[in-house]
Amino acid sequence: MEIKDGEFLVLVGPSGCGKSTTLRMLAGLEEVNKGRILIGGKDVTTMQPKDRDIAMVFQNYALYPHMTVADNMGFALKIAGTPKDEIRKRVEKAAEILDLTEYLDRKPKALSGGQRQRVAMGRAIVREPKVFLMDEPLSNLDAKLRVQTRTQIAALQRQLGVTTLYVTHDQTEALTMGDRIAVIKLGILQQVGAPTELYDRPANVFVAGFIGSPSMNINTHPVVDGKAKIGEDTISLPAEAVNKLTAEDNGQIVVGFRPEDASLATSDDPNAFSLKVVNVEDLGSDGFIYGNILTDGSAAEASTMMSDQNKLTTIRVNPRALPKVGDVVKIKIDPSKMHLFAPSTELRLN
């Protein structure tokens, strides 16, 4: 994978997929047993961490409790033998950017979580490195502070123009902050692209289900005469996608659609399927209905569900026209926003 100069790249994936390991390899904290790491065209694979010109922001801040904020921020420069007045200048400049000027003489224990996180950022900024590595820096903050700090970090990175690799498992963070997103599953890169690209054209079932909140509805359905059989109903499929199915797919297709890409349809719409409403949510600005696809006239779940059995189909509707729990409604998927995958490979067809 290549990260462009000055780019903000977000690395996402479920716990244990290798995000932090990747970051630690770039930092030189883990040994690399295969492949090479180049920073600015220079091979740093076997280089000591101190010679790589990178700065890392850790999840748990990692501040020295006995030092003031100013000393924490300038410590790396002090070790490197930078003159005192130069250190002071850089620390004050970073403190100004991060709104920490009035806290420079405090110890970390007298700061809030968000302030400590900014001190950790400041320590990285004063070094003026080639690359920033950030390992889930917001996961210890409360929800409101997270949103605020998220905006600050993204704005800060654009201001400084330093190439940044940011690790998170929070896909909202990824979609809002990154120039590009890389999705990893079990140590293997699944897809790299701009946030809209991953949202609109996920390369496989995993990326489709991982990016987006509420997540995409993904089910496996039999293909009958070139149409997908959803419960008792059939919906049209593009011929180009159906033609790509192979014998391994056993005459089935994986249909995915986002909650906002489906709508309530009339009872005589030929291209709609029935849904029994199990739960409704009125959020004021949005309404969501959750339901089971009707099969054989009963609300039994289709046995070919890919994900867990209790995953209901989610549809976003006008909150002023919410159906009631127990209603059976017809649902129509926007054909241009349908995501089709092959069951055998889980790769995109359309």
- 222: closest CA among 347, 346, 343, 311? 343
Q: With beta carbons less than 8 A apart as the criterion, state whether 340 and 348 touch.
A: yes
CA distance 305 to 207: 17
Structure token digits, residue 309: 């059995």
Mean pLDDT on 62-82: 92
Mean pLDDT on 21-44: 92
Element containing residue 39 per DSSP (H, E): strand 38-39
Q: What is the pLDDT of residues 222-236, one digit of tens each?
A: 999 999 999 889 999
Residue 307 has pLDDT above 70, yes or no: no
Mean pLDDT on 105-134: 90
The residue type of 350 is N
Structure token digits, residue 165: 């690799």
pTM of the model: 0.85
Mean pLDDT on 281-299: 81
**Better-predicted residue by pLDDT, 144 or 224:** 224
CA distance 127 to 117: 16
pLDDT at 65 (0 to 100): 93
Mean pLDDT on 9-18: 92
Residue 235: strand pairing partners: 228
Torsion of CA 302, 305, 307, 309, to 10 degrees: 30
pLDDT at 331 (0 to 100): 93
Residue 18 has pLDDT above 60, yes or no: yes
pLDDT at 308 (0 to 100): 38
Residue 309 has pLDDT above 50, yes or no: no
Mean pLDDT on 115-123: 89
Residue 256 has pLDDT above 70, yes or no: yes
pLDDT at 300 (0 to 100): 44
* Domains present along the chain, CATH in parentheses: 8-206 (3.40.50.300), 216-341 (2.40.50.140)
Q: HSE of 294 in the Cβ direction (CA atoms, 13 Å)?
A: 18
pLDDT at 117 (0 to 100): 87
pLDDT at 299 (0 to 100): 42
